[in-house]
Each structure stands twice: as structure tokens, then as C-alpha cells.
Structure 1
Amino acid sequence: MNITERQQKLSDLIDKKLAELNLPQEPSLLYDPVRYTLELAGKRIRPYLTLVGCGICNGDVEEALPAALSIELLHNFTLLHDDIMDRADTRRGEPSVFKKWDSNTAILSGDAMYAKAFKQLQYYGQSDFYSKKQYKTILDIFLKSAETVCEGQAYDLMFEDQSDVSIQQYLQMIEGKTAALISGALAIGGAVAGEDDSILEELRFVGKKAGIAFQIQDDLLDAIADPEKFGKKKGGDIIEGKKTYLTLLALERCNNQQQKQLKKTLVDQKSSPEDVDNVIGIYRELDIIRDTKNAVQYHYQEAMEHLERFDDSEYKKEIINFFNHLISREY
């Protein structure tokens, strides 16, 4: 994805601040996995949106850096714990902390990142520039984001053993698991800028819709993207039997024969590339690919429409450009 000069500047600011985090050498079992995780090549979408959320509200972007780091640390904390629950061997193309060390280490290092996230937010409580009310708003957004992510993950775990998950239930799950931190990132940036509740709600909505679109698009790319660009095996979600937007939509539309084939492949832990191609073939027969693309566009468009409430600015252009790139991404 091509990035703008401003996005590069903001990304450099984020990386610089992450590198300055106080991570002691000892105990190495605690902090080495934290360093390892933060050095993996992530997109840094959430901290970037925190800074843009502050900028679009005419705030001082550099003042939002502690909030941006807190959101990024919270995000990585959830990933360490998610990898344990999913038994995921890799993360961003490298061994996960769970795989490289063990479950106990991943849990402990994730907890350390959660504590470090809170320490970043202390800046706003200790600065005379921020009122107690503003500090409370910042903390409330952070805590609500963390709580909603956990709820989304709980639904995801419940859905593994639930055979009749609906599209609406799935959207509720990703609204928590994926969209909550994107929504919280924009809102916490606005809170640092001192915006009122109505504007923060607009930012939350924009982030929620963009987050839902992002996850549905991830589901889509798992089936149709070039594996070398996407960084994952083609049809990985199908092989793992995951309930995605595509599989749930297909199960709503398919005939008995297609349903048998879909369910057999999703349950079978040894699905072949041919099985995956057959499922993707069913997706195409039922117009699942087309309609999933339309769903992505719909949620992104809703996010764009709510950006109209904000005055024109370089940061508004920045977020619109960013969303346009996300819509057209191939990985």
C-alpha cells in the first residue's frame, strides 16, 4: 500500500516513541517477548488513526502520542493472548510468542504490555493541560475498547461450537474483536484534542464501520488474494473451519449438496487444496464473492459519509485517502 508523506511522518513518530519505551533487560523472560512483538512488522493502523483522530479535531498530534502507544500496546496484548487461544504458530510471518516461548510466557508478557499501556495514559492525568474530566474521558475510551475486544473474543470462542451462527451475530462479534480498537483509536485521539461527546461518537462510528469493513475484507482476501502478497495460505480460514462472512453467507444460500460439501470441508482438519478450491467455487456460484465485496464497500461508505461532519483539513484528506487504500488493498 502506497503511503502519503504525512502518513510516513506519523508512522516514524510512532516507531520512535515505541523504541523509547522503558523495557528493562531483566527479567528477560518478561521483556524479551515484548521487544520481539513490537519489532515485528505490523501495520500500526491503530496508533496512526489515534494521531489522525486528534488531527481531524484540530488537536496537537504529538500530544496524542501517549494515547497512540497505549492503543498499540493494548492491540498487541490482545494478539499475544489470541495466539494462545487459537494455537497460532505464526504472527506477521514469524513464530508467535506462544510458539517461540510458551503459553505462560505469552500470557505474562501480554499482561506486561497491558500495564505499559496504562502507564502511557498517566501522562494525561499528570499534565496540568488536561482536566480531570478530559482524563476520565480518555481512560473511559481505553477501558471500553479493552472490554469490547474481550467480549468480541468471547463470542468468537463461543461460535466455534455453535452450528447456527447468523450473519448478524458474526457482525456483532467483529464489531468487538476487530472494530473496537479502530473505533477507540479514533475516539481517543479526539478526546486528547478536547472534543465533546457528540464528535467522539462520530469518530467511534467511523472507526466501527471501517473496522467491520476491514475484517470482512480480510475474510474475502483469505479466499481470493495472492497468498504471497497476503502472507497466508490460500483458504486458510476454510482449512481451519473458521466461521467467516463468506462461509456464513454461503450456508444461508446453499442447496443440500453444497451444504454437505461446505460442512464436510469446514469440519475436516485435513482439507486439501482441491477441497479449498471447491468451496471457493461454491462461493462464486452463489455470488458470495461479489456480495462480500459489496458489503465491504457498504461499510466503508458509511464511514466516509460520517466524516462529512468534520471540517476540511489535511487530516480529513489523510483519513479519506487511507480508507480508499484499505478498500483497494490486496493483503
Structure 2
Amino acid sequence: MTITLTQALVEEKYRRYHQRINEALSGCFSAESPVTLYAPARYILEGKGKRIRPFLTLLAAEAVCGSPEDALNAALAVEILHNFTLMHDDIMDEADLRHGRPTVHKHWNTNAAILSGDMMIAYAYDLALKSKTERHRELIHILNHANITICEGQALDMELEEKKNASIADYLDMIAKKTGRLISAALEAGGVAGNATQEQLQALVTFGEKIGRAFQIQDDYLDIMAGDGKSGKIPGGDVIKGKKTYLLLRSIELTSGDDHQLLVSIIDNNGIGAERVNEVREIFERCGVLDETRELIKRETEDALAAIKPLPFAEGREYLKGFAGILVKRDF
């Protein structure tokens, strides 16, 4: 069966599921005491999260069994686990704002953010155990594996900051663990909730890995290219901070002479002045890394779409494909 979906249809479904996920999340952490334990958890969930991961969980279930109904608790568990990682990341990054609001550790304090985040992990597992499936052991394993892998990714990111001779392989390993694993875990959890076969689960995991990589590399690309502010970042913020991204590491491989020396200096000096961002962008253009990056994003996306062709329910499968297309063509 072939279904043709327009971007408008995919976006409409996303809006409907986004609202449903937010309504369900609003019922979490309803206890009033201790205030400094539950209020921070409610606060971070009230932020302007895109709910990409729980949306993928629901679509994955729909693609393997035809309905997302039994996957809602698994989707909520994934989103709460994601927000726990954000809460603790903000502490480690000493971030003041998230989505335009004070971060949890700024609104309360660091100890409250740590404790509330720890509680959120247990709450996520409890939600997974309430899922309408007999495969709870698999769900908990998925969440545990994702949590451990994200921590590995965060540790690799910290090590990468100090590593002067970082390679693209180092970077790709880091993003696969820090960003990609929770995306693939969200899809895997939806598959389990929908009673997927092992072959179907592997298809969903492969899809998630490929889309996760494309998503992060696209994020790197938008940082330097989205000069109109749609990305929500300072244009070239990664370069200014000296962050080792795919574009920077690959362009160092592709350049020589003065261009090469300037790019290496970004790493050696832990960043560069904002007034030189345009100069760096021009080097990226000259050496061909921008074209190469767009081609890599396209290739990863095509591989992701190919991976889920065997999934049995056309509607869920096609919505997964449609949403993947939106993610890697976004300008936000």
C-alpha cells in the first residue's frame, strides 16, 4: 500500500500529537511536597520542548502495529528521561537560560536541580512499567542503555573539548552517543510497545541512528549558515566558542595554508572573535565542506528512509519518513 503525505499533513499530525503529549506530561509530578523536588520537574516540562522523541515513539508504534495508543507511557518516559539530561547538562554547562527561561539550577539551585533530575529517572522507569505491554523488561533495558550511552556521550564531549587533535571519528562517536542514542531509543521503545519483531526493532534503531546523525550535523550546519536568527542561536556561535563540529574538523582536513592555520587556531585558542565568523564561513564555502555536509545529510536521510521500508503499517511508516524529511530540512 502506498500513501502520499504532504508536509502539511505531517505537520498537522505533529501538532495533534504534540498537544496530546503535553497534556499527558502536565499530569506528571503532581505531588506538591517536597516543593523543591517536584516543582523543578514540572517547570522544565512546561518549557517550549519540541517533543521530537516522544512523537517518534508514537509513530514507531503506529508503523509496527497500526496504532500509537499503547505507546503513550513509553513516549512520556522517553521525554522525561530527555528532560532529566537537559536539566543536568545545564548544570554542567553553567547555562543561565533554556528556551528563554532561567534554567532549573538558576531558578532554584544546583542541589534542587540534581535531586529533581535524579527523581525524574525513576519516574520515567515507573511510566515505562505502566505501558500496556508484556515486554516491560525490554523497555527498561532500552531506557537504561540509553541513559548509560548518553552519559558516555557527555563524557566524550567533555574529553573532546580538551583534545587538540580530535578526529571526525571522535566527533561522530560522541554525537551518536550523546544525541543519537535517545532518538533511536525513542523509536525502539515505540516498537516494543507496539509488539514489534526483532527485525522491525532493528529497522527502527537503524532509522533512528541515521536520522540522529543527520539531525546533529544539520544543527552544526545551521549554526554557521542560519544568519537570520531562525536557529535560535548566535550565528557562528559554535565557531566563537571553539566547538569541535563536523564542519570545523572536516574543513581542517580539506584546507591548507592560511585557511588551514586560521581553522586550527580556533581549536588552539578555544574560539575566535565574532567579527571573524564571516571569514570562517567563507573558508567553509571555498573548501567545499558546506556542499559535502549537505550531501552527507542527504545520504544519511536516504539510508534512514530505506531502513524502514519493511515496516508493516504504511501510515505510520510514511509519517516517520515525512517527519524525518522535515527534521533535516528545518531552519530552526
**TM-score interval for Structure 1 and Structure 2 normalised by the shorter chain:** over 0.9
1:109-147 deviation per Cα after TM superposition (whole angstroms, max 9, x unaligned): 2112112111101214xx6xx33xx12111111111111
Work out which of the residue numbers 61, 81, 92 in structure 2 matches 1:74: 81
The residue that corresponds to 1:119 in the other structure is: 126
1:6 Cα offset (Å): 2.4
Read off the aligned partner of 1:261 and give its amino acid letter.
Answer: L
- Aligned residues of 1:241 and 1:266 also touching (Cα < 8 A): yes
**Letter matched to residue 91 of structure 1:** R
> Structure 1 residue 230: deviation in Å?
1.0
Counterparts of 2:152 and 2:271 in 1: how far apart (Å)? 30
Tell me the residue number matched to 1:330: 331
**What's the counterpart of residue 208 of structure 1?**
209
Q: TM-score, normalised by structure 2?
A: 0.92
Give the AA of the match of 2:302.
Q
Query: In 2, are the aligned partners of 1:265 and 1:275 still within 8 Å (CA)?
Result: no
Distance 1:276 1:208 in 2: 31
Residues 1:167 and 2:174 are matched in the alignment: no
2:37 match: secondary structure: helix
Q: Which residue of structure 2 lines up, in the alignment, with residue 247 of structure 1?
A: 248
| Structure 2 residue identity aligned to 1:151 | E
State the 1:59 CA deviation: 4.9
* Partner Cα separation in structure 2 for residue 73 and residue 86 of structure 1: 20
Q: Which position in structure 2 is the counterpart of 1:156?
A: 157
Q: What TM-score does the superposition give when structure 1 sets the normalisation length?
A: 0.93
Q: Deviations over 1:132-189 (max 9, x none)?
A: xx12111111111111111111111111111111112211111111110110011111
Tell me the equivalent position of 2:51.
44
1:221-250 deviation line (CA, Å, top 9, x unaligned): 000013521111111111111110111101
Q: Secondary structure at the match of 2:229?
A: helix
> Equivalent residues in 2 for 1:1-331 (5 A)?
3-124=10-131, 130-131=133-134, 134-268=135-269, 271-331=272-332
Query: Given the superposition, is the C-alpha separation of residues 162 and 266 from structure 1 closer, same or farther in structure 2, using an over 3 Å criterion?
Result: closer
1:81 Cα offset (Å)? 1.1
Amino acid at match of 1:244: T
Could you tell me which amino acid in structure 2 is paired with residue 10 of structure 1? Answer: Y
**2:30 partner amino acid:** L
Q: AA paired with 1:196?
A: T
- Of all paired residues, the percent bearing the same amino acid is 38
- Identify unmatched segments of 5+ residues in structure 1: none
Residues in 2 aligned to 1:226 and 1:97: alpha-carbon distance in whole angstroms: 29
CA distance in 2, matches of 1:78, 1:55: 27
Q: Which runs of 4+ in 1 moved over 6 A?
A: none
What SS does structure 2 have at the residue aligned with 1:172? helix
The CA distance in 1 between the partners of 2:35 and 2:279, in whole Å, is: 47
Judge which range, 209-218 or 115-124, deviates more: 115-124
The one-letter amino acid paired with 2:129 is: Q
Separation of aligned partners in 2, 1:45 and 1:281 = 33
Tell me: higher relative CO, structure 1 or 2? Use CA pairs within 8 A at least 6 residues apart.
2
Does the CA-based 8 Å contact 2:305-2:321 persist in structure 1?
A: yes
SS at match of 2:19: helix
State which drifts further: 20-29 or 190-199. 20-29
When residues 269 and 173 of structure 1 are mapped into structure 2, their CA distance, relative to the original with a 3 A threshold, is closer
Task: Report the Cα distance in structure 1 between the residues aligned to 2:116 and 2:277, rounded to whole angstroms.
Answer: 36
RMSD, matched Cα: 1.8
Are the counterparts in 1 of residues 65 and 313 from structure 2 also a CA contact under 8 Å? no
Query: Which SS does the other structure have where 2:230 is aligned?
Result: helix
Opposite residue 245 of structure 2, the aligned amino acid is T
The one-letter amino acid paired with 1:82 is: D
Q: Partner of 1:40: helix, strand, or coil?
A: coil
2-structure distance, mates of 1:231, 1:283: 21
Note the residue ranges of structure 2 that are not aligned, 5 or more in a row.
1-6
Q: Shift of the alpha carbon at 1:8?
A: 2.2
Q: How many residues align?
A: 325
- Contact in 1 for aligned 2:73/2:130 (Cα 8 Å): yes
